[in-house]
Structure 1
Amino acid sequence: MQLSKRVETLTPSSTLAITAKAKELKKEGHDVIGLGAGEPDFNTPNYILEAAAEAMKSGMTKYTPSGGIIELKEAIINKFQDDNQLRYSTDEVIITTGAKHALYTLFQVLLNDGDEVIVPTPYWVSYPEQIKLAGGNPIFLQSSEENEFKITPEDLKKAITPKTKAIVLNSPSNPTGMMYSKGELEELGKVCLEHNILIVSDEIYEKLIYTADQHVSIAALSPELKEQTVVINGVSKSHSMTGWRIGYAAGPQTIIKAMTNLASHSTSNPTSIAQYAALAAYESNDASLSKMKEAFSERLNAFYDLITDIPGITCKKPKGAFYIFPNVSEAVAMNGFSSADDWVKAILEEEKVALVPGSGFGSPENVRLSYALGLDDLVEAAKRIKRFVENHQS
């Protein structure tokens, strides 16, 4: 049976592939440390678990509106008001089956064949694949490490063509952990308004920032930018609810309505029980969330120092998310490998440490290391990587 041309162009997720390989080695009895995880290692807080159990007992197990239950929409609207100084109505918000589904649905309703979407590099692995599935063309815009992997207005202007429909901004970023300032977003926003480009603002890591820098939503900078932006977010990272699959999008009513109509023919609705769990997440101020953030901050500080102490590895210190994205090109050459991909494979085979090659993020000289695991494992992982680099110096 011949598969569709759409799926034949897809590239498998490098993050999921390396995680699967690490799990396979663990199953074989190897002592593997996986640095590929894109999820907090903390369990979902108890009050959320209890809310889900109560929802089941109360019979909240039926279909819901395709765009999500009104109570959760209202809680998200309050969240936008409190956290981002943004005002939305319920018909400007859609609840989706994870933030990834929000992005997928958005590109499906937004793009026609040949439309271009600017994707700054490094990027989260699913952006280009989702754009291609919608018939669009991802246009990669290379950022520089010297500028903390952030694009400039000048960069953006050069990438715009008559076919440009949108740009994806992810702050704090996966995989780099970097974030845009208010001033930087204002300048990028001016360019987008001038050229009538929709801004897809992925803010899934907004609650995981470890410096004095404040998260700023580009949609909050002006009424004009709000009308030109779709904000993507969810509870996966902020509340350690990755498996619950609840995300959302907020933006212009016409776009949200189209997304809701499409969802009605694809998922019907996000899981009812998970929606009530997310409602509890947004209706409570739980101390365990600040403890999770404190733990990530402690791990970042310790792990960053250990990684940058390894010969041939350089890195800008991240400000948010839970990833370090070092440049390993010097170590790769020093160890006699032709690419970071081969270097990563050798480390997994020899030292049983799973790293994610940066090629999957459009940055082949880097690797992504997640610090969403215990400090002891992080210390041991850094020790093994350093041993590998020093043992293979040519």
Structure 2
Amino acid sequence: MPIPTPSFPGSSKLSWIAPLLETERKGSTSTTSTAYGATAADSKPGRGSFWSKGDIDFDEDAIATQESVFDEPTLAERYKPSPEWENIHRFDPSARWTWKEETAVIRKIDRRIMAFACIAFMALQLDRANLSQALSDNFLDDLGLTTDEVIMVNRVLRDDPSKGDMHNRQPITWKLFRQSLLDYDLWPLYIVGILWSLPVIPAQQYFTLLLRDQGFSTSVTNLLTIPAMLLSMFSVMLITHISELYNERALVSIISQIWTLVFLVRLYTTDTTEANPWLTAGMIGSNIYQSDDRPQYRRANRLLIGITCFNVLFYLLVKAYYIWRNKSKKRQWDAMSEREKRRYLDESRDAGNKRLEFIFAH
């Protein structure tokens, strides 16, 4: 059975060593014991989360554990989690569970853990959001400032064994930091991380000031920020769901850039000195909006439009790059004999995304 395809950037799904896994299993006389006396699942029905129920025509008491490198002893040692990994005490390659049990765990994660995580993130955002809202009540003037657990653990590891060498108590050393900076396969992601939200930052920073400049009171200004926050929250969940549904990242990410581009073009082509709803007099002191570009900020808006168009093109280039990298790795892997593949897995000094069995999701 082929190992599932990648599900996130930098995924290390071992799809190319699946044939090798079959070879190892056929040549081995050992039998993997299981908690329920069963082997890994041969098929994977549509599993859903709290929001997506998935397919319902399957046996809930069937084994849900997916096939993994941990099912073959000769390969399991190569991908065994680090002894220092924080969940190592829960790791059990022989553990098996049913679809009913797995679904219950997933629903519990969605209802409890993810709900708590959302509340925690809301708490983290309170201080920053309140500071932003305070701008509508002359806050800057008052201060004299300018605008200047087993199923979960094993399910995750079977899905991606590389997560076994991660733990949140490991410090980031200078060596690791330097390796990250020099890893050219990560450079496209670094650039995306810098540029993806840049076109909307200036307007977000001065949104409350813009509303105040249009004559709205402090209370009305704070109320008018709520729709934008709600739309942003639901759009993030929608885009994330679409990305997961179609296993696509780059093309889905372009949606937000096109959405932003429409409004930036409208802003650029509107005479902001005469159209009060688009008043931008409060946008002073930002690195994008400069006082010498007032009152219409043509130069700044051209820059934002250019950045947005570049982002759309760059997302396509990033996708093309990772497709090329995956094909290059696959050609090298396919050119090896079975013995060479085993030797590579045992002796190669390649690490992280430089290993041939590491494939990128895009």
Structure with greater Cα Rg? 2
Same-fold status (TM-score > 0.5): no
Q: Identify, as 1 or 2, the structure richer in helix.
A: 2
